[in-house]
């Protein structure tokens, strides 16, 4: 049986999948859903995901992945 390699984590030292992080960011910034409401939605799905954890995902995503994009946008606009 062949095993596929483990994907590179989007946030170091975290179990967060890239899809879950992207969904939280999409809901917060594109759909204007506050994190406390997202926390309730995740809870309704049976996932205990705290507001603090989602906030840290957003901050770490910006630090590790999105800050360079934001810098380029500021430079070119």
pLDDT band at 41 (very low <50, low <70, confident <90, very high): very high
Q: Look at residue 24 and tell me if it is in a domain.
A: yes
Can you give the pLDDT at residue 48?
Answer: 96
The pLDDT tens digits of the residues spanning 18-32 come to 999 999 999 999 999
What 57-62 contacts at long range (C-beta under 8 Å, 24+ apart), as own/partner pairs, is 57/11, 57/14, 57/16, 57/20, 57/21, 57/24, 57/25, 58/24, 58/25, 58/28, 60/11, 60/12, 60/14, 61/10, 61/11, 61/21, 61/25
In a domain, 3, yes or no: no
Flag whether 48 is in a domain. Answer: yes
Give the whole-angstrom CA distance, residue 38 versus residue 74. 30
Residue 2: per-residue pLDDT? 86
What is the mean predicted confidence (pLDDT) over 5-15? 86
- With respect to residue 64, please indicate whether it lies within any of the assigned structural domains: yes
> Has residue 54 got a pLDDT over 90?
yes
**Number of domains, the chain:** 1
In a domain, 6, yes or no: no
77 pLDDT tier (thresholds 50, 70, 90): confident
């Amino acid at each position: 049986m062949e095993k596929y390699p483990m994907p590179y984590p989007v946030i170091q030292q975290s179990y967060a999948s890239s899809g879950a992080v992207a969904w939280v960011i999409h809901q917060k910034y594109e759909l204007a859903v506050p994190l406390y409401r997202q926390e309730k939605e995740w809870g309704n799905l049976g996932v205990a995901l705290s507001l603090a954890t989602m906030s840290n995902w957003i901050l770490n995503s910006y630090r590790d992945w999105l800050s360079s994009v934001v810098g380029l946008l500021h430079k070119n606009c």
